[in-house]
Amino acid sequence: MTQSNKDQSLGKILSHHSIRLTRRLGQHLLVNDHYLKTVIDHSDLDGVDLVLEVGPGPGNLTELLLSSGKKVVSVEIDKRFCEILRRKFHDCVNFELHECDILDTELHKCVISDPIGHIQKWGISANLPYNIASVLIVESLYAKMPPRYICVMIQKEVAQRIVSEAGGKAYGVLSVLVQGVAEAKIVASVPPGAFLPPPKVHSAIVQIIYKPECAVRIERPAFFRELVSRIFRHRRKTLRGGWVKMQPGEVQPVIEGVLADLGIDSSRRPETLSVEEFIALSNKLTAAGQVGLT
């Protein structure tokens, strides 16, 4: 079947089920075979027992994932698509569907442990709804049992923020939090025409490989995440004129001392600090007992 015929077939399915895609849910269905295969090719399926797919829609990517023989857990919020998925994959023993909002779900109860309670190796392969991509990626990487890999289609702007280096315009909270525990790269840029309906922005497929040896360097992950977020709230100011100034007067000299010990000039702006410097600062402040900073 040609790509044009596939698009027409999907259009008929949507029409038959009276499905009108909503921007509120970030519903842009990936219909281009080349990019669907690109997601599969950059997913480390051999290294996992289970694949989590968020926002499967009518199951275009789901079908390819199931053909790998891995267990596929799909989470879909739209009950109309859930009806299609149940009908389409009703005889697939390695398919499991959860009709819910992934952000309101205790994800790891349905992903990490099998029915016997064994911890499973898992990964994420998905065409993620744009409006939840950043949150889901970070929450997954900092979960109790993180995925071995994440290979997802997301908005290109978000992908660029993930891989940006210190000093870059896109460098920020997302860059530091992802690179603090993983290696990330953009494996493909994707034009709007690869989707139904075409989004107004370009997209990209990003591959993220979790690195346990990197994650163990962060002594207090929750504090690290909060610290990075708070510092970047003042990204246009120097550390001294922004984040440090917001701390209680008696704490400011302590922070200045910690920065000096690390060789970080407090006249620098947040976007100039490397991921390593953020980790070092977080650990040093933890050792100094300053984990209640604002």
Given the structure tokens 């840029």, which residue do they identify? 189
CA-to-CA distance for 221 and 279, rounded, in angstroms?
A: 9
Radius of gyration of the chain (CA): 21
CA-to-CA distance for 273 and 243, rounded, in angstroms?
A: 13
Instruction: Say which CATH class 3-215 falls into.
Output: alpha beta
Model pLDDT, residue 36: 98
CATH fold of 221-287: Helicase, Ruva Protein; domain 3 (1.10.8)
Beta bridge partners of 207: 151, 185
The angle, 0 to 180 degrees and rounded to 10, between the axes of the packed helices 156-163 and 133-141 is 30
Residues 216, 229 contacting (CB under 8 angstroms): no
Residues 59, 126 contacting (CB under 8 angstroms): no
What residue type is 260 in one-letter code? A
- Give the mean pLDDT per block of 10 residues along the chain (294 residues): 51 57 68 97 96 95 97 93 95 95 74 59 95 96 95 98 97 99 99 92 98 95 96 94 88 92 97 98 89 61
Residues 85, 76 contacting (CB under 8 angstroms): yes
Question: Strand order of the sheet with strand 203-210?
Answer: 95-99, 71-76, 50-54, 122-127, 149-155, 203-210, 182-190
pTM greater than 0.85:
yes
Closest CA to 146 of 116, 174, 118, 112: 112
Model pLDDT, residue 109: 60
Model pLDDT, residue 83: 94
Model pLDDT, residue 1: 47
DSSP strand pairing (203-210 vs 149-155): antiparallel
Parse the chain into domains and list their residue ranges: 3-215, 221-287
